Amino acid sequence: MKIALIAHDGKKADMVHFLSRFRDILEKADVNLVATGTTGSHIEKSGFEVEKLLSGPIGGDAQIAAMAAQKELDMVIFFRDPLDKHPHEPDVQMLMRICDVHNIPLATNPASAELMLKSL
């Protein structure tokens, strides 16, 4: 199973905390993690193995969308910051649309991500 992880700047700490809470589930389910660059660096520092792509604003969101379009992902967890402006918002919208088109589960907050991980 491969899960893509993305977190806007204001949500990166939340992502690391969230993953730490579910470390056992992720290890038992033999999950491979892939993340945008900066998010991946934060996740890696907390002891997780993660494949790091480009940073979101310079193409990482698009790389994850391409993986979703090619059915290489089983799930996407994207902790968005709805109260901040993001210059790469078109890439974010494209990623969400691609997940919908290809029926890939997408969690945009910890509550929905928790439900998805508990189903593993």
Mean predicted confidence (pLDDT) in 99-108: 97
Task: Mark the binding-site residues for substrate, compressed into ranges.
Answer: 8, 12, 36-39, 55-56, 88
Summarised one tens digit per residue, pLDDT across range 20-30 is 999 999 999 99
Tokens of 105: 């589960």
Q: Which residue has the tokens 């991980």?
A: 117
Summarised one tens digit per residue, pLDDT across range 39-90 is 999 999 999 999 999 998 899 999 999 999 999 999 999 999 888 777 777 8
**What domains are defined for the chain?**
2-108 (3.40.50.1380)
The confidence score (pLDDT) of residue 90 equals 83
Phi-psi group of 15: left, alpha or beta (phi > 0 → left; psi -120 to 50 → alpha; rest → beta): alpha
Residues tagged active-site: 61
